[in-house]
């Protein structure tokens, strides 16, 4: 009976292993099958003065395609204080994977350090947090610090990383080495030593300027080794290895060859018997692509090698995971597969300069359209210290747990040495961000919706009559809707209503004026519950090491009026020269003509034939000929008004009109056009229509044109260190073409340009240059 039970258990075990082997790939594919968003914010700088704005450009990458995410629309940017408490949150609109915006640094920013987090609602469905997080500093809140003397030996980080995850006795192991100082800067060690338990020096090691190194070490059973390094000040720091496993496997990956990747799996003599005939799997993956290689142990060999052509690997970061016969992950290593198609490039040339402006050109030298943004700062700036870059956020952050410092060094002007240094860095990153426990047992649930704008649901106090319709109008939000509610209920889907904007409602009955109506409104989610990750470093340390207090910042800016609502909208002021490119001739009504209590239809009836048809009103010209159809197209604020909406001009007073243009299209069969431009809410005085206004407090952040406060002087340290010269967030350049730009200089001889972006195929761009 006991033998029968053992046989049954072995059968179950073998069936389970076969099932896991069969399902590894299917499980992996399922875990990553849903679209995933990777957000990145290009900020104009990271250190600010009270009264300035944080100017930003958002880029959202789709993880599977590695291109801009074409369907993301709602991006939440949350602001946390240094304790991790949510201070404020903004909702920004994203279109075709990009968006622009700004955040005012007002008097409520009372602390020195804050954190920005960019994320979406859909991202909450996944265990891995790949939100964008960046520390910013309000330097005007900085207090003077006294310089304290600390013992250097109490402020260092000395870590050892066995390749794959652990040490194995009686075989050669490779260990990564990481040494950092109190400021998180790497420490270069020219000659470190490794000692055995007797104190004998058995090997030497060194680290590069980033404090990174590695060493091959034959590890004895039950032996603990001491790594010692002597700092420049003579202090000796040390770290010990852990006790090695007596049985098992270890791994060595060689990624220095440009064409091939070499993987060696080692075991020891003691393990050969227990491992014999067992099949292990080497799984190389990066969420989008994977490949599987199996090998079987025998009683003789202790080294098993695999050579892979790098053209067969996915570009960018790959993870190598070794599974045992039960498909339990036992070793893991992260590598980088460099490919030129990961990047795109441009050239920048200065054309001319004067005392107050500079002209330069950006040349797109690729066959892909480029989308870019650029910050312009004084060359001596201390205000741009981002711990993120577009390289870091898109190439590495989705896969590794830590943060890569000095990313520009590794990925600019790439050569063999830099790739070797990058491989050392990845050796010290440990296992991938993606937990195999989650992949096997906890696939993502789509509990959080993929948001697309804001949906408005409304209800009227009573149903409308058969011949009545509901008019919904919002010039700020580009809404003109005429709908028939069902039992008093109506819905506007996927709107992009702006915060603190107005939506107007009225009931229209053909042949009568509009009646005011106040529906009750409900909105889809406009805020997101966000917090900083539990393991996030809430360091209150300043971004830059300046040991002085910025004084008299209240008098830094000139007392000039800065408009809080320099909102980017469709242009309403179109000069006659622009109109002549579209229509001819052009006539514009003067302010005297428009200073009337009449409505727009009464005004138009003097010049045109206005007919009420079954499809709505129609405006006809009195000059119809064989070549002129007599049709007149009417535009309101650059938007063509369909016939069914023309009736609303019965209730628009001429006093609310800024200008009316008359003309006709060019060509053999010209069509007459009327272009009407209304006053903005700031310009309009005494509006008297029949629509009921409803103010929307929560919505998408309004997009403003860039501006910066005027400084009393542009030659002082405050501006040179923390001021901003200019910001261009929406640069697009066609393939193999050149665009010219003109920026102010703010009396600076040299300007540092920080440019980032992405091509339509996903190639990344990051450049820092000085314009003289």
| Residues 27, 43 within the same domain | no
* pLDDT over 50 at 10, yes or no: no
Beta-carbon contacts of 323 under 8 Å, excluding residues fewer than 6 positions away, are 24, 280, 281, 283, 329, 330
If you search the block for the tokens 């001021």, which residue do you land on? 723
Rounded to an integer, the average pLDDT of 271-284 is 96
| Residues 277, 160 within the same domain | yes
pLDDT in tens, 600-620: 777 777 777 777 666 667 787
pLDDT in tens, 280-296: 999 999 998 999 999 99
Is residue 561 very low, low, confident or very high in pLDDT (cuts 50, 70, 90)?
A: very low
Can you tell me the distance from the alpha carbon of 333 to that of 320, in angstroms, rounded to the nearest whole number? 5
Among 34-48, 58-72, 471-485, 656-670, the minimum mean pLDDT is found in 656-670
Rounded to an integer, the average pLDDT of 159-170 is 96
| Residues 101, 199 within the same domain | no
Q: Which residue has the higher pLDDT, 738 or 681?
A: 738
User: In the chain, what is the greatest distance between 2 CA atoms, to the nearest angstrom?
Assistant: 108
The pLDDT score that the predictor gives to residue 551 is 52
**Residue 763 falls inside a structural domain:** no
The DSSP result for 464-515, as a single string, is PPTTEEEEEEETTTTEEEEE--BTTEEEEEEE-PBTTEEEEEEEEETTS--E
| Residues 643, 545 within the same domain | no
* pLDDT over 50 at 15, yes or no: no
* pLDDT over 90 at 468, yes or no: no
Can you tell me the distance from the alpha carbon of 757 to that of 730, in angstroms, rounded to the nearest whole number? 10
The pLDDT score that the predictor gives to residue 116 is 96
Of the candidates 285, 282, 338, the one whose C-alpha atom is nearest the C-alpha of residue 315 is 338
The pLDDT score that the predictor gives to residue 475 is 80
**Residue 136 falls inside a structural domain:** yes
- CATH number of the domain encompassing residue 97: 2.60.40.1930
Rg (CA), the chain: 33
| Residues 546, 493 within the same domain | no
**Residue 502 falls inside a structural domain:** yes
**Residue 686 falls inside a structural domain:** no
**Residue 16 falls inside a structural domain:** yes
Our count of domains for the chain comes to: 5
| Residues 203, 321 within the same domain | yes
Burial 415-443 (b: 16+ CB within 10 A, else e): eeeebebbbbbbbbbbbbbbebeebbeee
* pLDDT over 70 at 225, yes or no: yes
Is residue 450 very low, low, confident or very high in pLDDT (cuts 50, 70, 90)?
A: very high
Rounded to an integer, the average pLDDT of 536-564 is 52
- The secondary structure element, H or E, covering residue 633 is strand 632-636
Q: State the average pLDDT for the chain.
A: 85
Of the candidates 362, 247, 192, the one whose C-alpha atom is nearest the C-alpha of residue 769 is 362
* pLDDT over 70 at 164, yes or no: yes
What is the end-to-end Cα distance of the chain in Å, rounded?
Answer: 89
| Residues 6, 107 within the same domain | no
The pLDDT score that the predictor gives to residue 658 is 77
pLDDT in tens, 672-685: 888 888 776 655 54
The pLDDT score that the predictor gives to residue 582 is 52
The DSSP result for 555-610, as a single string, is GTB------TT-B--------HHHHTTTBSS-EE--HHHH-SSSBHHHHHHTTSEE
pTM here is 0.82
| Residues 90, 47 within the same domain | yes
The pLDDT score that the predictor gives to residue 569 is 45
Encoded tokens for 574: 């179109």
pLDDT in tens, 16-71: 444 455 589 999 999 999 999 999 999 999 999 998 999 999 999 999 999 999 99
The pLDDT score that the predictor gives to residue 542 is 56
- CATH number of the domain encompassing residue 328: 2.60.40.10
Q: Which residue has the higher pLDDT, 58 or 543?
A: 58
CA quadruple 93, 98, 99, 102: dihedral, nearest 10: 140
Q: Which of 294-298, 526-530, 594-598 has the highest mean pLDDT?
A: 294-298
Of the candidates 76, 44, 40, the one whose C-alpha atom is nearest the C-alpha of residue 59 is 40
Which residue among 679, 713, 741 closes a domain?
679
Rounded to an integer, the average pLDDT of 508-519 is 77
**Residue 434 falls inside a structural domain:** no
The pLDDT score that the predictor gives to residue 635 is 83
Among 408-417, 421-430, 643-652, the minimum mean pLDDT is found in 643-652
The pLDDT score that the predictor gives to residue 395 is 95
> What domain range includes position 482?
454-523
| Residues 613, 662 within the same domain | yes
Q: Which residue has the higher pLDDT, 567 or 486?
A: 486
* pLDDT over 50 at 548, yes or no: no
Rounded to an integer, the average pLDDT of 324-344 is 95
**Residue 344 falls inside a structural domain:** no
| Residues 461, 326 within the same domain | no
Provide the sign of the torsion angle of the four alpha carbons 540, 541, 543, 547, taken in this order. Answer: positive
- CATH number of the domain encompassing residue 609: 2.170.130
The pLDDT score that the predictor gives to residue 628 is 58
| Residues 42, 129 within the same domain | yes
* pLDDT over 70 at 584, yes or no: no
**Residue 214 falls inside a structural domain:** yes
pLDDT in tens, 117-150: 999 999 999 999 999 999 999 988 777 554 444 4
| Residues 547, 670 within the same domain | no
The pLDDT score that the predictor gives to residue 477 is 87
Write phi, then psi, for 566 (nearest 5 degrees).
Answer: -85, 75
The pLDDT score that the predictor gives to residue 45 is 95
The pLDDT score that the predictor gives to residue 122 is 97
């Amino acid at each position: 009976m006991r033998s029968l039970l053992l046989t049954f258990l072995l059968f179950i075990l073998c069936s389970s292993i076969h099932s896991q082997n069969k399902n590894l790939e299917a499980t992996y594919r399922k875990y990553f099958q849903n679209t995933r968003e990777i957000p990145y914010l290009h900020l104009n700088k990271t250190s600010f003065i009270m009264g300035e704005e944080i100017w930003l450009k958002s880029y959202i990458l789709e993880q599977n395609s590695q291109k801009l995410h074409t369907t993301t629309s709602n991006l939440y940017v949350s602001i946390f204080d240094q304790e991790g408490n949510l201070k404020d949150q903004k909702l920004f609109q994203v279109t075709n994977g990009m968006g622009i915006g700004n955040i005012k640094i007002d008097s409520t920013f009372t602390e020195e350090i804050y954190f920005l987090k960019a994320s979406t609602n859909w991202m909450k469905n996944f265990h891995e947090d790949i939100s964008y997080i960046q520390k910013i500093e309000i330097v005007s809140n900085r207090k003077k610090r006294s310089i304290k003397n600390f013992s250097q030996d109490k402020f260092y980080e000395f870590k050892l990383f066995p390749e794959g995850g652990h040490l194995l006795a009686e075989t050669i192991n490779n260990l990564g080495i990481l040494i950092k100082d109190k400021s998180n800067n790497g420490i270069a060690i020219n000659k470190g030593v490794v000692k055995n338990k007797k104190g004998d020096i058995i090997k030497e090691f060194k680290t590069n300027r980033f404090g990174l190194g590695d060493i091959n070490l034959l590890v004895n059973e039950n032996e603990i080794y001491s790594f010692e390094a002597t700092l420049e000040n003579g202090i000796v720091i040390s770290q010990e290895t852990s006790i090695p496993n007596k049985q098992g496997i270890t791994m060595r990956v060689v990624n220095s060859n440009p064409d091939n990747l070499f993987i060696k799996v080692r075991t020891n003599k003691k393990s050969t018997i227990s491992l014999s005939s067992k099949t292990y799997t080497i799984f190389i993956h990066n969420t989008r692509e994977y490949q599987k290689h199996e090998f079987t142990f025998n009683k003789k060999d202790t080294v098993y090698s695999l050579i892979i052509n790098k053209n067969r690997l996915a570009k960018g970061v790959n993870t190598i995971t070794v599974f045992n016969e039960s498909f339990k992950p036992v070793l893991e290593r992260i590598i980088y597969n460099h490919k030129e198609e990961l990047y795109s490039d441009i050239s920048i040339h200065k054309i001319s300069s004067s005392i107050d402006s500079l002209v330069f050109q950006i040349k797109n030298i690729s066959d892909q359209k480029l989308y870019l943004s650029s910050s312009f700062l004084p060359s001596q700036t201390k205000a741009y210290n981002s711990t993120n870059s577009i390289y870091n956020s898109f190439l590495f952050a989705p896969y590794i747990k830590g943060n890569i410092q000095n990313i520009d060094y590794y990925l600019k002007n790439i050569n063999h040495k830099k790739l070797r240094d990058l491989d050392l860095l990845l050796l010290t990153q440990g296992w991938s961000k993606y937990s195999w426990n989650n992949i096997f047992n906890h696939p993502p649930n789509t509990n959080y919706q993929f948001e697309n704008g804001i949906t408005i649901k409304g209800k009227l106090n009573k149903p409308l009559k058969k011949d009545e319709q509901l008019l919904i109008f919002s010039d700020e939000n580009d809404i003109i809707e005429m709908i028939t509610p069902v039992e008093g209920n109506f819905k506007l889907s996927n709107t992009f209503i702006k915060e603190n904007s107005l939506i107007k409602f009225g009931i229209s009955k053909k042949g009568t004026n509009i009646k005011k109506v106040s529906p009750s409104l409900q909105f889809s989610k406009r805020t997101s519950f966000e917090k900083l990750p539990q393991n996030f470093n809430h360091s209150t340390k300043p971004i830059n090491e300046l040991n002085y207090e910025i004084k008299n910042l209240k008098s830094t800016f000139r007392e000039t009026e800065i408009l809080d609502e320099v909102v980017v909208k469709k242009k309403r002021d179109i000069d006659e020269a622009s109109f002549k490119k579209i229509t001819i001739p052009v006539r514009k009504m003067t302010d005297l003509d428009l200073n009337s209590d009449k409505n727009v239809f009464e005004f138009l009836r003097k010049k045109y034939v206005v007919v009420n048809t079954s499809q709505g009103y129609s405006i006809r010209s009195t000059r119809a000929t064989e070549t002129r159809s007599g049709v007149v197209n009417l535009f309101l604020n650059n938007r063509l008004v369909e016939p069914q909406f023309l009736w609303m001009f019965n209730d628009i007073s001429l006093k609310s009109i800024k200008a009316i243009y008359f003309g006709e299209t060019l060509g053999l069969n010209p069509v007459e056009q009327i272009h009407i431009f209304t006053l903005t809410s700031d310009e309009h005085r005494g509006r008297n229509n029949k629509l009921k206004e409803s103010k929307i407090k929560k919505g998408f952040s309004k997009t403003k044109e860039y501006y910066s406060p005027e400084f009393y002087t542009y030659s002082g340290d405050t501006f040179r260190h923390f001021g901003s010269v200019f910001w261009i967030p929406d640069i697009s350049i066609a393939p193999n073409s050149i665009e010219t730009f003109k920026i102010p200089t703010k009396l600076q001889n040299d300007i540092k340009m920080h440019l980032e972006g992405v091509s339509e195929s996903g190639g990344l761009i990051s450049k820092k240059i000085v314009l003289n």
